[in-house]
Chain A
Amino acid sequence: LAKTTQPISMDSYEGQEVNITCSHNNIATNDYITWYQQFPSQGPRFIIQGYKTKVTNEVASLFIPADRKSSTLSLPRVSLSDTAVYYCLVDTRGTGGFKTIFGAGTRLFVKA
């Protein structure tokens, strides 16, 4: 399983764009990169997943360079409600049985 490394914490202000970068040097060919968000006393919530280049959905964008050894989650115009822990994971898409190991995550604190 590829290990991931993220900053432990980040601070931002409302309305700013936040970029959280994750390193996964040992990512395998079949691995996908998935980001989750977790609020206190709740289960993680899926944000976005990608394999390479750029993926965008209604809440975030995910940038993955050609070597796939890192990825960047971009949150446009954050609000106070985006204060949460963000986890970057790599796993094999499509198996359903591939266990997902969480790293330490990045604690994002959005200030007014």
Chain B
Amino acid sequence: GAVVSQHPSWVICKSGTSVKIECRSLDFQATTMFWYRQFPKQSLMLMATSNEGSKATYEQGVEKDKFLINHASLTLSTLTVTSAHPEDSSFYICSAGTGTEYGYTFGSGTRLTVV
């Protein structure tokens, strides 16, 4: 079945630095990828929709200059958290769809801790 790999699974960074999270579709081409963040005991919150070769569409309230999304190929999308602060600490999850299968396939998530 469809597999989405997310890397790293966890990362600790210092406040003020940037962190890049990768999301790869391993066995299918993902025309669209989605990025979510999830705080403890809460549901997933959609941050942005990423289409291959075009600019990401951000949800209201999500700072596009802080959360840089690149979808340069049909199998890779990246989320860069720039100038990270402790309040950016969260669980970040990507998902991918091709338009041909049931549902969407999710990555395993990245736990970001900013200290």
Measured CB to CB, the residues of A under 8 A from B are 32, 34, 36, 41-46, 49, 87, 93-105
Instruction: Take A42-B109, A43-B93, A87-B43 as given contacts and tell me if A99 and B34 are in contact as well, using a CB distance cutoff of 8 Å.
Output: yes
Instruction: Take A43-B6, A45-B106 as given contacts and tell me if A96 and B95 are in contact as well, using a CB distance cutoff of 8 Å.
Output: no
Task: Quote the shortest CB–CB distance from B104 to chain A (angstroms).
Answer: 6
Residues of A within 8 A of B109 (CB): 41-43
Cβ-defined contact, B43 with A41, below 8 A: no
B85 interface residue per 8 A CB criterion: no
Residues of B within 8 A of A44 (CB): 44, 93, 95, 106
Cβ-defined contact, B32 with A97, below 8 A: yes
Interface range on chain B (Cβ under 8 Å from partner): 20 to 34
Residue of A nearest to B41 (CB): A107
Task: Quote the shortest CB–CB distance from B50 to chain A (angstroms).
Answer: 10
- Give residues 50-102 of B contacting A (CB, 8 Å): 51, 91, 93-95, 97-100, 102
Chain A contact residues, majority secondary structure:
loop
Cβ-defined contact, A49 with B46, below 8 A: no
- Give residues 1-57 of B contacting A (CB, 8 Å): 4, 6, 30-32, 34, 36, 43-46, 49, 51
Residues of A within 8 A of B49 (CB): 97, 99
Cβ-defined contact, B111 with A96, below 8 A: no
How many Å lie between the Cα of A32 and that of B103 in the bound state?
A: 9
For the complex with contacts A43-B107, A45-B106, A96-B31, 10 further pairs of A-B residues with Cβ separation under 8 Å are: A32-B102, A41-B111, A42-B108, A43-B95, A43-B108, A44-B95, A95-B97, A96-B99, A97-B31, A99-B46
